[in-house]
């Protein structure tokens, strides 16, 4: 028994040491990048990732996902999309360092900067309505810029995010996010109650919806079975609030287009309640449309189609509106 405890403690120490080493290295790289002009640093990160990304095991996951999602594309096209994906993810990481400098959008500016915005009337509508709203997006372009744009139009958005596993990197990213993005809530046990409290107070929340959710609703994405979170559909049903799709499109020259689309017409049951399962599928369909338009800007190395089930000792009743 003691030997197991010692092994467990050694494993924890090794994991902490590994996190510390990787975290210190990552933070050192970020500090060096901060000394460079933003465009030069971001472009360098893109080139670096395109060169070394394919050496990681996740590259094989990305290629497999791409082949299944786009059976009509050639192998050369698949590899080009995968390369674009690595470049996009590296740019996103580097842009964390320069969030305060790359977001130059000004609603009163006469000349356009790095950021252009579509759907301005929707931003104004949400900011002016005294009722709850939900915005959703996917891991496309630099999705971190969306809540900053919302704030420029007077929207008070609280975003749900998943912190990195490495605590040292997580502290840096979280501090950067909080100084630039307003309200944030980390994804953890009990987060649904916090989000419900915000909606109950007629607030607005932002949610990413394109990750796998173990034990979630059975849906499809690119015509393949996957599991999706029921959180957003259940919150929408509980509060009968408007749901808006929002996305970021990366443009040439380190520029961005932020798009807030019209609110969705959510599917309903015969009792005129929002249909949770059908709404989850609708969210997937919207994200799939975005990904098909810009496939190189999505994270194909994510195991979105992995099916797993939660282990529960006994069934638990849903906290909001039933299953």
The tens digit of pLDDT for each residue in 198-211 reads 999 999 999 999 99
pLDDT, mean over the chain: 86
- Give dist(CA 174, CA 38) in Å, integer: 20
Is 267 found in the same domain as 122? yes
Identify the top-confidence range among 3-7, 102-106, 151-155.
151-155
Residue 242 pLDDT = 95
Question: In which band, very low, low, confident or very high, does the pLDDT at 305 lie, cut at 50, 70 and 90?
Answer: very high
Number of domains in the chain: 2
- Tokens 């460079």 sit on residue: 36
Residue 148 pLDDT = 83
Is residue 161 scored above 70 in pLDDT? Answer: no
Is 152 found in the same domain as 286? yes
Query: For residue 53, which of 306, 303, 301 has the smallest C-alpha distance?
Result: 301
pLDDT digits (tens, 9 = 90+) for 120-137: 999 999 999 999 999 999
Q: Which whole number is the average pLDDT over 9-31?
A: 71
Any domain includes 320: no
Is 13 found in the same domain as 92? yes
Identify the top-confidence range among 209-213, 250-254, 287-291, 310-314.
287-291
Is 119 found in the same domain as 87? no
- Collect all residues with Cβ–Cβ distance below 8 Å to 56 and sequence separation of at least 6: none
Pairing of β 242-251 and β 255-260: antiparallel
Any domain includes 114: yes
Question: In which band, very low, low, confident or very high, does the pLDDT at 177 lie, cut at 50, 70 and 90?
Answer: low
Any domain includes 186: yes
Residue 283 pLDDT = 98
Question: In which band, very low, low, confident or very high, does the pLDDT at 164 lie, cut at 50, 70 and 90?
Answer: low
Is 158 found in the same domain as 276? yes
Residue 184 pLDDT = 67
Look up residue 168 and give its two tokens: 């040292």
Is residue 316 scored above 70 in pLDDT? Answer: no
Strands of 180-321, DSSP E? 183-186, 204-208, 217-221, 224-228, 242-251, 255-260
Domain boundary among 97, 128, 158: 97
Question: In which band, very low, low, confident or very high, does the pLDDT at 321 lie, cut at 50, 70 and 90?
Answer: very low
In contact, 206 and 147? CB cutoff 8 Å: yes
Any domain includes 304: no
Any domain includes 17: yes
- Give dist(CA 68, CA 294) in Å, integer: 17
Domain extent, residue 174, equals: 110-297
Is 61 found in the same domain as 203? no
Is 245 found in the same domain as 114? yes
Is 160 found in the same domain as 87? no
In contact, 234 and 320? CB cutoff 8 Å: yes
- Give dist(CA 85, CA 221) in Å, integer: 18
Helix, strand, or coil here: 86? Answer: helix
Q: Which whole number is the average pLDDT over 309-320?
A: 51
- Give dist(CA 313, CA 305) in Å, integer: 25
In contact, 205 and 187? CB cutoff 8 Å: no
Look up residue 203 and give its two tokens: 């607030």
Is residue 143 scored above 80 in pLDDT? Answer: yes
Any domain includes 152: yes
Is 127 found in the same domain as 69? no
**CB count in 10 Å sphere of residue 126:** 22
In contact, 218 and 225? CB cutoff 8 Å: yes
Any domain includes 305: no
Is 86 found in the same domain as 117? no
Any domain includes 132: yes
- Tokens 């599991």 sit on residue: 227
Is 31 found in the same domain as 125? no
Question: In which band, very low, low, confident or very high, does the pLDDT at 318 lie, cut at 50, 70 and 90?
Answer: very low
Is 283 found in the same domain as 164? yes
Q: What are phi and psi of 242, to 5 degrees?
A: -70, 145
């Amino acid at each position: 028994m003691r030997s197991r405890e010692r092994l467990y403690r050694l494993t924890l120490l090794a994991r902490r040491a590994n996190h510390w080493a990787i975290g210190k290295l990552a933070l050192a790289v970020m500090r060096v990048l901060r000394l460079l002009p933003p465009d030069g640093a971001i472009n360098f990160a893109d080139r670096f990732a395109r060169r070394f990304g394919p050496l990681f095991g996740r590259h094989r996951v990305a290629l497999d996902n791409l082949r299944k999602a786009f059976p009509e594309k050639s192998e050369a096209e698949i590899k080009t999309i995968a390369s674009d994906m690595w470049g996009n993810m590296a740019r996103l990481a580097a842009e964390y360092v320069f969030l305060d400098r790359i977001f130059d959008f000004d609603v009163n500016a006469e000349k356009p900067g790095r950021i252009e915005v579509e759907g301005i009337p929707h931003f104004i509508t949400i900011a002016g309505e005294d009722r709850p709203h939900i915005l959703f997006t996917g891991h496309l372009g630099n999705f971190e810029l969306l809540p900053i744009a919302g704030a420029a139009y007077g929207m008070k958005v609280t975003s749900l995010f998943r912190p990195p596993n490495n605590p040292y990197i997580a502290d840096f990213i979280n501090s950067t996010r909080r100084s630039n993005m307003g309200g944030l809530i980390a994804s953890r046990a009990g987060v649904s109650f916090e989000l419900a409290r915000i909606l109950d107070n007629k607030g607005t929340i932002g949610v990413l919806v394109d990750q796998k959710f173990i034990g979630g609703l059975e849906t499809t994405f690119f015509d393949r079975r996957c599991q999706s979170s029921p959180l957003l559909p259940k919150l929408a049903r509980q509060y009968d609030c408007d749901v808006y799709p929002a996305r970021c499109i990366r443009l040439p020259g380190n520029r961005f287009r932020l798009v807030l689309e019209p609110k969705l017409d959510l599917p309903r049951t015969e009792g005129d309640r929002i249909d949770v399962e059908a709404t989850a599928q609708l969210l997937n369909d919207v994200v799939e449309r975005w990904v098909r338009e810009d496939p190189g800007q999505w994270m194909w190395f994510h195991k979105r189609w992995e099916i797993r089930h939660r282990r529960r000792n006994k069934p638990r009743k849903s906290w909001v509106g039933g299953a």
